[in-house]
Every structure is written in structure tokens, then in C-alpha cells.
Amino acid sequence: MAALSAIKIKDPILGTFYQRLRSNGKTFKIAIVATIRKLITILNAIAKTDPAFT
């Protein structure tokens, strides 16, 4: 759901990533799963490096 919200509000990072995938001919499902994976990677990096989460 977070990825869908990000592409709807045209998030500068995730929205642009999603639009680039779609313009390269990827289907909706492939593009949204790639966007979800990118979001998880970003959140994982924040959880590892931010002292508030450790």
C-alpha cells in the first residue's frame, strides 16, 4: 500500500523510479513489485543506520 501511495502522490524518488520502469515497457505488476522492493531496501538502510531504530 505504501508503494501505491508513493506513485499516486508522485513521490520524487519512488514515483520517478516507477514511471521510468513503466516507460521502459514493464507491466504494472513488475513495476510495482520493483518499487516495493526499492522501498524495503530504503527502510532497511534507515533501520540499520539510524540510532533511533537500534
Which residue range is the domain that position 44 belongs to? 2-53
pLDDT of residue 54: 66
Q: Give the count of beta carbons closer than 10 Å to the beta carbon of residue 4.
A: 12
For the whole model, what pTM was predicted?
Answer: 0.82
Q: So what's the pLDDT on residue 40?
A: 94
Exposure class string for 12-48: b at 16+ Cβ within 10 A, else e: eebbebbeebeeeeeeeeebbeebbebbeeeeeeeee
- pLDDT per 10-residue tile (average), the chain, 54 residues: 79 90 96 94 92 78
Report the domain count for the chain.
1
The predicted structure's pLDDT at residue 25: 98
